[in-house]
Amino acid sequence: MTTDNKTGWEAFYRANQTRAASPLLRRALGAECLPKGNGHAIDLGCGGGIETALLLTSGWKVLAIDKAPNAIARVETLKAELPSADLTVMVSRFEELKGLPSSALIHAGLSLPFCEPTHFPMLWDMILSALEPGGLFVGHLFGNRHDWAKHSTMSFHSKTEVEGLCSGLGVELFRESEGEGGLVTHHWHRFDLILRKPMV
């Protein structure tokens, strides 16, 4: 992988800086899914801030979290571009998070697989605890047939395991896909999820 170091991540941000915001997140924000709750969102692994910007321009208060200081520096430029936006940023590895604020939407693009597997259950529990009733988790997990599954510091899941993670949640979207491609050509195996926390 080219994204294991600061230089690799910066190259990734530059290569993706003109891409459109996540179709998965745009779907979650649409009338079909629309999260319920307090108007606060978290962008976990916010990267260059493309999805953070979409959330802010859609009227959300946003906490953007990333382990890379250069990613957070990019996101902080949104404060000048959107002076009325309610944006908070945090530099943190997932493994170091102690908790997350109550939120109606938690977005994790392609970031959760980069959580160490021993910490993933705690991170997932933290996400579910932070979600408001009626709120949405929107994000991706890597499947166990992904080329990168040999990396022991990353998290990969079988379909059965992902189904287990969805237990007790309303499933707005559960999509499994597999193929070849990416910035560095590889075999990918991915789950796209939009999950709603039940109303109390």
Domains of the chain: 22-197 (3.40.50.150)
Tell me the pLDDT tens digit for each residue of 75-134.
999 989 999 999 999 999 999 999 999 999 999 999 999 999 999 999 999 999 999 999
Give the separation between CA 6 and CA 21, rounded to whole angstroms: 23
pTM above 0.85, yes or no: yes
| 51-75 pLDDT tens trace | 999 999 999 999 999 999 999 999 9
Q: What residues have CB less than 8 Å from 40, skipping those under 6 apart?
A: 60, 61, 62, 63, 101, 102, 103, 104, 105
Out of 22-31, 60-69, 137-146, 179-188, pick the least confident: 179-188
Lowest-pLDDT range of 94-98, 174-178, 183-187: 183-187
The DSSP call for residue 143 is: B
**Could you tell me the end-to-end alpha-carbon distance of the chain, in angstroms, rounded to an integer?**
42
pLDDT at 3 over 50: no
pLDDT band at 20 (very low <50, low <70, confident <90, very high): confident
